[in-house]
Amino acid sequence: MNKESLEKTFTEIYKTQGTKPQLYFAPGRVNLIGEHTDYNGGFVLPCAIQYGTWLIIRNTTDGLIKLASANFDGRVTVSSAPPLSRQQVKWFNYPLGVMDQFIQRGIPLTGMELLYSGDIPNNAGLSSSASIEMVTAYALNEILNSHLELTELVRLSQKAEHEFAGINCGIMDQFIVGMGKKNHALFLNCHTLEYKQIPLTLNGFRLVIANTNKQRALSDSKYNERVVECQLAVTYLSQIVDISRLSELGFPQFFKMQDKIPDETIRKRARHVISENQRVLNSVNCLWKGDLRQFGYLMNISHDSLKENYEVTGPELDTLVEEARKIKGVLGARMTGAGFGGCTVNLVKNESVDQFIRQVGENYSTRTGLKADFYIAEISDGVRKIESK
Ligand code: GLA
């Protein structure tokens, strides 16, 4: 939806005259490598993409918060006085969760009218929820004059997801949605939150995202289960070595002590996280050197570990990856995001992109009965205000 039609819809819905509404945008993201490492204090390497969420918003004096979306039917109106109540319709809880975090920080809400519009494919693991959270946090920070730092908006959006949406996610998604930079990947230490923008020079290659279009049943509870499994791995390992996060161990060190984890499943989870962490470091080196071939290889073994050790892929993601790897000109193919459905990210030579989309699409649908969608990623900036001309 363009700016004009969004403003028109806003006026149609809210009618009342008031202060001029302001427009904000937050992107979605694709993670290049470093999957399920963030909540283990590890490294990640995501990029912000061209798809995202627009929010048009203004404050009012009636003490009511009104939420609507151009993508979904249904609206909600709640009082701006605490406590804010959780809603049955899932997406409302993302903005309300963020608003609740402002209240928890002693920042009172005013009445306001909000209209969202997004083009991130739903439920595809491209961070549509973090995008809604961050666009809300960024806009509220401005219209409430609360002067919170961007990193604080990132943290409070993550907390909103824990408390209002019930997912114990790491910080990667909110961080990249906040700090993304055009044509750069963000190399983030999720424990210290130190980060570096790594120029993404793809010399003749494209990042192609492929969507399984598989409904991600029970993905939230399986995600939380993985978080608990990693904590259990730390409990076992910390009896031998003084650690509080899996990311504190290097792979050689883990390799020597892995037998101390009695449960094979928990051992595999730790193996993935610790090896994936090292793969992020190696990937950053490859990108600095422009060694895309080696980077693609790391993407491939990342997927294989997510399949064998972390068990978050499933037949649809695995099929997309298998078919992708058959195409000449594909250097790497892996799932991206939480898994259990969602998308893959593929490093594909320019000249092979058309063939990739055709052939992987056909073979995927023959093998699974589902239709895949494809998007060519443009690496974009993080959350921002869209100034009116
Ligand atoms: C989801 C979570 C992130 C991260 C990824 C897996 O996107 O929101 O915090 O854990 O899964 O890497």
User: How many residues are present in the chain?
Assistant: 389
Ligand 1 atom 2, closest CA: 169
Atom of ligand 1 lying closest to residue 38 CA: 10
Q: For the domain 3-198+382-386, what is the CATH code?
A: 3.30.230.10
Cβ neighbors of 276 (< 8 A, separation 6 or more) are: 33, 34, 35, 36, 37, 42, 302, 305, 306
Rounded to 10°, the helix 264-289/219-237 angle is 100
**Predicted local confidence at residue 348, as pLDDT:** 98
Long-range contacts at 76-79 (CB < 8 A, ≥ 24 apart): none
- 24 by Cβ neighbours in 10 Å (0-12 / 13-18 / 19+) ranks as buried
Q: Is the pLDDT of residue 82 over 70?
A: yes
Query: How confident is the model at residue 71, as a pLDDT?
Result: 92
pLDDT in tens, 211-245: 999 987 767 889 999 999 999 999 999 999 999 99
- Please tell me whether the overall predicted TM-score, pTM, comes out greater than 0.95 for this model: yes
Predicted pLDDT at 335:
98
Q: What is the band of 389 on the pLDDT scale with cuts at 50, 70, 90?
A: low
The β-bridge relationship of strands 330-336 and 76-79 is: unpaired
Ligand 1 centre distance from Cα of residue 355 (Å): 30
182-216 per-position pLDDT tens digit: 999 999 999 999 999 999 999 999 999 999 999 87
Q: What DSSP letter does each residue of 148-184 carry, written as one string?
A: --HHHHHHHHHHHIIIII-----SHHHHHHHH--TTE
- Picking from 228, 227, 230, 223, the residue whose alpha carbon sits closest to that of residue 249 is 230
Residue to mutate, 31, 35, 38, 171, ligand 1, most ligand atoms under 8 Å from C-beta: 38
Q: Which residue spans within 218-340 are E strands per DSSP? A: 330-336
| pLDDT value for 53 | 98
Query: Where are the chain's structural domains?
Result: 3-198+382-386
For ligand 1, the distance from its centroid to the CA atom of residue 179, given in whole angstroms, is 16
Give the pLDDT confidence of 282-340 residue by residue, as tens digits.
999 999 999 999 999 999 999 999 999 999 999 999 999 999 999 999 999 999 999 99
Euclidean distance between CA atoms 164 and 104, whole angstroms: 13
Dist CA 163 CA 167 (whole Å)? 8
Q: Are strands 184-189 and 43-44 parallel, antiparallel or unpaired?
A: antiparallel
Interval 33-52 mean pLDDT: 98
Ligand 1 pocket: which of 31, 44, 169 to mutate (most atoms within 8 A of CB)? 169
What is the rounded average pLDDT for all residues in the chain?
Answer: 96
Alpha carbon of 270 to ligand 1 centroid (Å): 16
Tell me: cis bond preceding 83? Omega within 30 of 0 counts.
yes
Nearest CA to ligand 1 atom 11: 338
**Nearest Cα to Cα of residue 329 among 291, 379, 362, 293:** 293
173 is catalytic: yes
For residue 189, give the H/E element and its range: strand 184-189
Distance 89 CA to ligand 1 centre (A): 22
The partner residues of 113 in beta bridges, in order of sequence, read: 58, 66
Catalytic residue among 38, 119, 173, 373: 173
